[in-house]
Amino acid sequence: MRRFDGLSVLVSGAAGGFGRSIAKAFAAEGAKLLLTDLDDAALAAAAKDLPNTEIATLAGDVSREATAQALVETAIERFDGLDIAINNAGIVHAYKRLSTIDAAEAERVIAIDLMGVFFAMKHQLAAMEARFEREGRGGAIVNVASVAGLKGAPLLSVYAAAKHGVIGLTRSAAAETARRGIRVNAVCPSFARTAMVLGDGHGADSEEEKRIVRGIPMRRLAEVEEVVAAVLFAADPANGFMTGAVLPVDGGLSAI
């Protein structure tokens, strides 16, 4: 039996980066998927890439509460409930000193990376708590935060602030819902081999990559699959006693 056979799993930011790989991994483990992203066309392409999987898609802006509400309603309508939510959607601002960051840029990062997780969890938890009251069946939430949420991140101050906030939400929600059959955990990647980190045109062993890995004890980037493995571990129903955990996947960066 596969780990997530028959379970409904919501993945945000599912059209690319970690999200698309997370969706593939859950599909391979038997999950039913509800995928969301801002880019409708890219979302459709991601869904098409997962044959023989029961999939629903709903494009939307995670910084809007209406999107979070609609996603949970869709999960209930299509799959009779929501078992697992992976709140992965996020953006990062350019490397800048705090004093030079434009207010509108800062507000957009906070809106997506922090408020987006707040809105998502607000509606996900309400649905999971209601089902627990009815059926005694809870659920699991995994928030994709960042090692920038565990320590200072020079030149990424607003992004770091948002990710610190995600960790605060994670721990607080875990404590609130521990007796309601719901587990809430966070995974904190550092730099991984994604377009968000390297940008277009930066292949392996590029100067950009060499610059980034100098501060990582393992002296390399994370592979996307290594981060995905941590997400699935946190979501796994067999991992039933772990809640409020914050899991660094950072090659030792948070250890120094």
The question of whether 159 is a catalytic residue gets the answer: yes
Other C-beta atoms lying within 10 Å of the C-beta of residue 136: 9
Say if residues 208 and 202 touch (Cβ distance below 8 Å).
yes
Report residue 26 as tokens.
């859950």
Q: Which of 3, 159, 177, 224 is catalytic?
A: 159
d(CA 83, CA 209): 37
Closest to 221 (Cα-Cα) out of 204, 233, 234, 202? 204
* Nearby residues of 210 by Cβ (< 8 Å), 6 or more positions away: none
Instruction: Assign 61 to helix, strand or coil.
Output: coil
Specify burial of residue 134 (Cβ count, 10 A radius: 0-12, 13-18, 19+): exposed
Phi, psi for residue 147 in degrees, rounded to 5? -60, -20
Catalytic site residues?
159
